[in-house]
């Protein structure tokens, strides 16, 4: 956490709305990324990010600087998202068994991938990211959030303990359990992790196109140059790793999720609306 941001946080707590806007702009992408990885649904992630930002804004005066600001924000975000997931417990969740069955049906008699370069690279990277996200969704929510915090955002076991209200040992145990579950599944299915596996990205991409999906998706978050270059670097890096290390390397190789552009206007309107008791 930079002292520069801490400066703006103090200004915001003293009633500076422009400083508050800047603070929110610094955290909104990470919150959206966390929500998207936890919920695996774009509209749900947008809705919950909005609610989390409202909580951060309206409780900013409660931040006592006893921990890093990001730790405090992640604590609010994780509590909110875990609560929402518990409320949706009746909805069937994806499991490793059902995901494995889905993969098996796709890899049987998949048509050839007819997609020109560089669009092909984007499509293949979209498939990889979708598969990694689906694998994350197969984890129990308490394990999932620990993996996301530890592997995506580099949260330490000490910080993770504060965020989730558990001991550092418990955080490390959840992170280890999540890693092992992902490694076991990906090692048994993914052709990038184990070249002997029949599941290949181009098969899923071809099936998606045959079902009428665009190539690449119209709402893709990936840029052409970034997707192609990023995938090439990842594949080259995977060859240097053991099979056990490859799953985590793939998990970490995510593009930064950018929150929708509309968020900036929504949050600005919120801050200046007077609707919420932002400053105490």
Mean pLDDT over residues 202-224, rounded? 70
Mean pLDDT over residues 178-194, rounded? 95
Mean pLDDT over residues 170-196, rounded? 95
Percent of the chain at pLDDT > 70 equals 85
- State the greatest distance between any 2 C-alpha atoms of the chain, in Å, as a whole number: 63
Domains in the chain, CATH or no CATH each: 1-91+258-280 (1.10.1740.10), 93-213+222-256 (no CATH)
Task: Please calculate the CA angle 137-191-182 and round it to the nearest 5 degrees.
Answer: 30
CA distance 38 to 86: 12
Tell me what the pLDDT averaged over the chain comes to. 85
Structure tokens at 220: 């893709």
Structure tokens at 271: 């801050």
CA distance 109 to 111: 6
The pLDDT value recorded for residue 115 is: 67
Over 90: is that where the pLDDT of 262 sits?
A: no
> What Rg value do the Cα atoms of the chain yield, rounded?
20
CA distance 10 to 204: 49
Residue 116 phi/psi, 5° resolution? -75, 160
The 3 state secondary structure assigned to the chain is CCHHHHHHHHHHHCCCHHHHHHHHHHHHHHHHHHHHHHHCCHHHHHHHHHHHHHHHHHCHHHCCCCCCHHHHHHHHHHHHHHHHHHHCCCCCCCCHHHHHHHHHHHHCCCCCCCCCCCHHHHHHHHHHHHHHHHHHHHCCHHHHHHHHHHHHCCCCHHHHHHHHCCCHHHHHHHHHHHHHHHHHHHHHHECCCCCCCCECHHHHHHHHHHCCCCCCCCCCCCCHHHHHHHHHHHHHHHCCCCHHHHHHHHHHCCCCCCCCCHHHHHHHHHHHHCCCCCCC
Mean pLDDT over residues 248-272, rounded? 76
pLDDT tens profile 21-51: 899 989 999 999 999 999 988 899 999 999 9
Structure confidence at residue 223 as a pLDDT band (50, 70, 90): low
Greater model confidence, 27 or 225: 27
Report whether 37 contacts 148 (CB < 8 A): yes
Q: Is the dihedral of CA 102, 191, 112, 131 positive or negative?
A: positive
Structure confidence at residue 146 as a pLDDT band (50, 70, 90): very high
Strand ranges, E, within the chain: none
Report whether 155 contacts 183 (CB < 8 A): no
Over 80: is that where the pLDDT of 230 sits?
A: no
Report whether 39 contacts 48 (CB < 8 A): yes
The pLDDT value recorded for residue 1 is: 39
Neighbour tally for 15: CB within 10 Å: 11
pTM: 0.87
């Amino acid at each position: 956490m930079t002292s520069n941001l801490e400066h703006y946080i103090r200004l915001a707590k003293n009633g500076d709305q422009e400083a508050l806007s800047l603070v929110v702009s610094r955290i909104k992408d990470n919150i959206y990324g966390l929500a998207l990885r936890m919920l695996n649904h774009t509209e749900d992630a947008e809705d919950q990010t909005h609610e989390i930002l409202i909580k951060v804004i309206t409780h900013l005066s409660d931040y006592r600087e006893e921990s890093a600001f990001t730790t405090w924000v992640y604590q609010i975000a994780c509590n909110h998202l875990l609560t929402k997931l518990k409320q949706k417990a009746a909805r069937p969740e994806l499991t490793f068994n059902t995901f494995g069955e889905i993969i098996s049906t796709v890899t049987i008699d998949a048509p050839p991938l007819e997609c020109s370069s560089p669009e092909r690279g984007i499509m293949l990277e979209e498939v990889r990211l979708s598969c990694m996200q689906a694998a994350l969704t197969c984890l129990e929510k308490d394990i999932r959030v620990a993996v996301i915090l530890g592997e995506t955002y580099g949260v330490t076991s000490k910080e993770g303990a504060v965020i989730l209200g558990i001991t550092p040992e418990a955080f490390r145990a959840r992170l280890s359990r999540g890693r092992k579950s992902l490694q076991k599944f990906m090692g048994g299915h993914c052709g990038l992790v184990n070249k002997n596996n029949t599941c290949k990205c181009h098969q899923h991409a071809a099936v998606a196109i045959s079902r009428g999906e665009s190539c690449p998706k119209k709402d893709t978050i990936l840029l052409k140059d970034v997707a192609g270059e990023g995938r090439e670097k990842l594949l080259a890096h995977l060859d240097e790793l053991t099979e056990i290390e490859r799953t985590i390397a793939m998990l970490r190789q995510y593009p930064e999720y950018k929150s929708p552009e509309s968020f900036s206007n929504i949050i600005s309107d919120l801050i200046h609306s007077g609707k919420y008791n932002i400053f105490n």
